Amino acid sequence: MKISTKGRYGLRAFIDLACYGAEEPVSISSISARQEISERYLEQLMAKLKKAGLVKSIRGAGGGYRLAKDAAEVSVGDVLRALEGDLEPATCAALHSEDSCEIQGSCITKYVWKKVNESMAQTVDSIMINTLVEMNKEVKKEGQKMSKLIYLDNAATTKTAPEVLEAMLPYFTEQYGNPSAIYSFASHNKDVVAEQRERIANALGAKSNEIYFTAGGSESDNWDTQSNRRGLSE
């Protein structure tokens, strides 16, 4: 079988409930906001989970849903079966009744489907909800670490300064012709490159023909190395 949106969304909602419902009921609207699942659909999923005895509803102000059992006592398999029903990926009549399959005595594939079904059940039944709650906490911690990232690789790639981005944006989006080309669309860019080369030369006290534009540091290093080699050979 293929796990449907009921199983996938329902498992996410149940884990959310386990993460946030330890001290007080969790509202459908808050689960909806965090998991980006419609409230109407969540109500349908919660009804199935409640019927299976996995969640309980709390009425009144400040009400919502809570787990009906400890997260350590509920497996992924419990949740998926409550939402999907039978989880066997392979349907084989011989696995359930010796009399329901005419060729069960000679069919060797039933052992394959039995193994497949057992593997599926073993996997989902071995993963407990409390384990996923702890994993969720670790994922959040890693996310918080990344939000405090201190970038130390500016020598390789650097964030573009806002004023540079603003100045270059027209050439990224509208005037993107190759300044080395001969077609008219690129002629303006060729003039801009020449103008900027002159400005940089004046700022450095150099000649414009001594200013070269490259695509990056590596190209500049290679160009300089090659130039020095040519100078030494001469």
pLDDT tens digits in sequence order for the chain, 234 residues long: 678 899 999 999 999 999 998 889 999 999 999 999 999 999 999 999 999 999 999 988 888 999 999 999 999 999 999 999 988 776 766 566 555 666 666 677 777 878 888 888 899 999 999 999 999 888 888 777 666 677 788 877 888 887 888 888 888 888 888 888 888 888 888 888 899 999 999 999 999 888 888 877 788 888 778 777 766 555
- Closest-CA residue to 57 (of 25, 105, 86, 17): 25
pLDDT number for residue 97: 59
Q: Please say whether the dihedral angle defined by the alpha carbons of residues 140, 76, 1 and 122, taken in this order, is positive or negative.
A: positive
- CATH number for 5-86+128-146: choose from 1.10.10.10, 3.90.79.10, 1.10.3720.10, 2.30.40.10: 1.10.10.10
pLDDT number for residue 213: 85
pLDDT number for residue 48: 96
Contact at 8 Å (CB) between 48 and 7? no
Question: Per-domain residue ranges for the chain?
Answer: 5-86+128-146, 162-233
Q: Please say whether the dihedral angle defined by the alpha carbons of residues 74, 77, 83 and 86, taken in this order, is positive or negative.
A: negative
pLDDT number for residue 145: 67
pLDDT number for residue 151: 78
pLDDT number for residue 177: 87
Q: Which two tokens stand for residue 20?
A: 């946030």
- Closest-CA residue to 90 (of 50, 55, 121): 121
pLDDT number for residue 81: 94
pLDDT number for residue 100: 65
